[in-house]
Amino acid sequence: MSSTMHSKRDHRDLARVWVVLSSIALALLFLAPGVALVLLVFPIFIEDPPNTMPAFRGVNTLFFTVVRSVLVCVVAALAANALILASLPAVIRAIKHCPTPGAARFGKISAIVFGVGLVFNAVVWGVVLGPWFLSLFPALQESARTLGSIGSKAFEKLSYFTYPLVLAPFVFDVVRFIAMLIAGIAVSTARHKSAVLPAVAPTAQAPR
């Protein structure tokens, strides 16, 4: 009896850890865009070189301000994924001890989707950001007189990658974390069959 009760309590406690960390990760993803938009109101002022053309004045300020907001979303996504990765031992044990096959199956599918999405997002970020940063590094080593043209070129490149850079991985993250949260709730609310006691019908007493 004690081992059964320990097993019941064990999978529920583990699933609660799963739910808490998934909730924090999902909150980070929802809060990051709002923080990024607020930061756009407070730009990073970069002084333009004296020889910068009038058409390019202020481009560096706009560029670094946008990059800061994008980095907020990137850091939030990385922190959210790190939280889920930290909860994986609890997730695996909770699924292993889950008494309901349906909830355990849902948890396994959600964990697999999370892993596939993690690899997908890593590939997307690598493909999109890799060439972009590599194209910037040689230019950044040039003299400060070309800072205006560097900022304008980088900002033009950033505009082409805005949607795959921010929207695709971010939307996929939201879907993955919602699935993980729902799966954690399903596993945490799973009950052993023995926990539901059947109703015992009253028996009529034999006449004396």
Q: Model confidence over 116-126: pLDDT tens digits?
A: 988 888 887 77
The token pair at 29 is: 């993803």
- From the DSSP assignment, how many helices (H) and strands (E) are in the chain? 6, 0
pTM of full prediction above 0.75? no
- In this prediction, residue 25 carries a pLDDT of 92
Report d(CA 96, CA 10) in Å as an integer.
11
Per-residue pLDDT for the chain (208 aa), expressed as one digit of tens each?
444 444 455 778 888 999 999 999 999 989 998 998 888 888 877 776 777 676 666 777 777 888 888 888 888 888 999 999 999 999 999 999 888 889 899 999 999 999 998 888 888 777 766 656 655 555 544 543 444 454 445 545 555 555 555 567 778 888 889 999 999 999 988 886 655 444 444 554 555 5
**Number of C-beta neighbours around residue 104 at 10 A:** 20
